[in-house]
Amino acid sequence: MPNLIEPKLISGNANRPLAETVARRMSMHRGMEVGLVDARVERFNDGEIFVEVFENVRGEDMFILQPTSNPANDNLMELLVIADALRRSSAARITAVIPYFGYARQDRRSKARTPITAKLVSNMIVEAGIERVLTLDLHATQIQGFFDIPVDNLYAAPIFALDVMHHFKGNMDDVMVVSPDVGGVARARDLAQRIGAPLSIVDKRRGKPGEVAEMTVIGDVKDRRCLIVDDIVDTAGTLCKAADVLMENGAKEVHSYITHGVLSGPAVERISKSSMKNLVITDTIQPTEAVKACKNIRIVRTAPMFAQAILNTWNGTSVSSLFDHKALKPIYEGTYSS
For 272-290, write each residue's pLDDT tens digit: 999 999 999 999 999 999 9
Query: 209-227: per-residue pLDDT in tens?
Result: 555 568 899 999 999 999 9
Domain limits of the chain? 7-155+303-328, 157-300
- Given this chain, do its domains 7-155+303-328 and 157-300 carry the same CATH topology? yes
Nearest 5°: the CA angle 134, 135, 137 is 150
One of 3.40.50.1820, 3.40.50.2020, 3.30.70.640, 3.30.1550.10 is the CATH number of 7-155+303-328, namely 3.40.50.2020
pLDDT for residue 230 is more than 50:
yes
Instruction: Detail the residues annotated as belonging to a binding site.
Output: 46-48, 105-106, 139, 181, 206, 230, 234-238
Give CATH for domain 157-300: 3.40.50.2020
How far apart (Å, rounded) are the C-alpha atoms in residues 326 and 169? 16
pLDDT digits (tens, 9 = 90+) for 61-101: 999 999 999 999 999 999 999 999 999 999 999 999 999 99
Supply the residues annotated as catalytic. 204
| pLDDT value, residue 132 | 97
Average pLDDT over residues 266-277: 96
Q: 68, 9, 137, 103: which is closest to 285 by C-alpha?
A: 68
30 has pLDDT over 90 = no
The pLDDT of residue 33 is above 90: no
Mean predicted lDDT score pLDDT of the chain: 93
So what's the pLDDT on residue 213?
62
User: For the residues 186-198, what does the mean pLDDT come to?
Assistant: 96
The stretch 230-250 carries a mean pLDDT of 95
Calculate mean pLDDT across residues 141-166: 95
Question: What is the band of 2 on the pLDDT scale with cuts at 50, 70, 90?
Answer: very low
Q: What is the pLDDT of residue 1?
A: 38
Query: What pLDDT score does 333 carry?
Result: 75
Average pLDDT over residues 121-145: 96
Summarize the annotated binding site for ATP as residue ranges.
46-48, 105-106
Q: What angle do CA 99, 67, 97 make, to 5 degrees?
A: 55
Angle formed by the axes of helices 185-195 and 157-167, nearest 10°: 50
The structure's pTM equals 0.94
Using one digit for the tens of pLDDT, what is the confidence trace for 286-308? 999 999 999 999 999 999 999 99
Distance in angstroms (rounded) separating the CA atoms of residues 108 and 198: 31
Residue 232, pLDDT above cutoff 60: yes
Is 40's pLDDT higher than 80?
yes
Residues contributing to the annotated binding site for D-ribose 5-phosphate: 206, 230, 234-238
Contact 172, 195 (CB under 8 A): yes
Structure letter (DSSP) for residue 206: E
Region 189-216: mean pLDDT is 83
Q: Where are the alpha helices (DSSP H) in the chain?
A: 16-30, 72-88, 117-127, 157-167, 185-195, 237-248, 267-273, 289-293, 303-315, 325-328
pLDDT at 29: 82
